Amino acid sequence: MDTAVMTTPAVLILLGPPGAGKGTQARMLEEKFGLVQLSTGDLLRAAVAAGTEAGKAAKAVMEAGDLVSDEIVINILRDRLAEPDCAKGVILDGFPRTTVQAQALDTLLAETGQKISAAVSLEVDDAAMVTRISGRYTCGNCGEGYHDSFKQPARDGVCDKCGGTEMKRRADDNAETVSSRLVAYHDQTAPLIAYYKDKGVLQSVDAMGEIDTIAGALAGIVEQAMK
């Protein structure tokens, strides 16, 4: 086979805590490179709706109130990866979550001679993330966004846009909740990061900068992966 025309689908794993901008970056990669973002929840719903073998198995388990096994998720993923829209590559979001799942994914990819192109860790500064997220609030009337540190209205408590005075904060955006979400994320992700570092495919991107800068770094990684 002529290697010059053969393209291997890129398989990217995107790791990042809530608030790191994972969704925005994944959409950018979809548009720029024709990749498809696959999240576990969407995959399961689609397989159940399509009534595939794996989808039927997942449906039975979910209806019984149980967690869908790694084996079922892998079978659903196998079906999905074979679809034509995944030819350029995929971005996996929310899978794998454990090193056991990561090993199962490696085995699955090996069936078709593929492997992980890169596991990208969106790195955040935890303290700065807490400030960033817990400082957010919006105008209850028009929805304009504000921030304690970065974007105060001209008059305290009065919306610049509509003059509304009812400011709202999301209950789960408080500092304590954001901190514990980050701790949980690091606990869960540390073994995966070690796993992919060992495999030599871990790439770290500073996710605290400008969205365009982060996007540029990710694009560089994907371009390398698609070579």
Instruction: Report if residue 144 touches Zn ion, rule: CB under 5 A.
Output: yes
Choose the binding region for Zn ion from 62-70, 81-89, 134-142, 202-210 (rule: CB under 5 A): 134-142
* Neighbour-count burial for 165-190, b at 16+ CB within 10 Å, e otherwise: eebeeeeebeeeebbebbeebeeeee
Burial of residue 196, with CB atoms counted within 10 A of its CB: 0-12 exposed, 13-18 middle, 19 or more buried: buried
Choose the binding region for Zn ion from 16-24, 84-92, 152-160, 217-225 (rule: CB under 5 A): 152-160
Choose the binding region for Zn ion from 48-56, 82-90, 154-162, 184-192 (rule: CB under 5 A): 154-162
Q: Which CB, 169 or 197, lies closer to Zn ion? A: 169
Instruction: Report if residue 139 touches Zn ion, rule: CB under 5 A.
Output: yes
CB of 144 to Zn ion, least distance (A): 5
* Neighbour-count burial for 47-64, b at 16+ CB within 10 Å, e otherwise: bbeeebebbebbbeeeee
Q: Is 27 a catalytic residue?
A: no
Q: Is 136 a catalytic residue?
A: yes
CB 9 within 8 A of CB 88: yes
Q: Is 169 a catalytic residue?
A: no
Q: Which CB, 33 or 137, lies closer to Zn ion? A: 137
Instruction: Report if residue 160 touches Zn ion, rule: CB under 5 A.
Output: no
Between CA 21 and CA 1 the distance in angstroms is: 39
Q: Is 170 a catalytic residue?
A: yes
Residues that are catalytic:
22, 97, 136, 170, 181
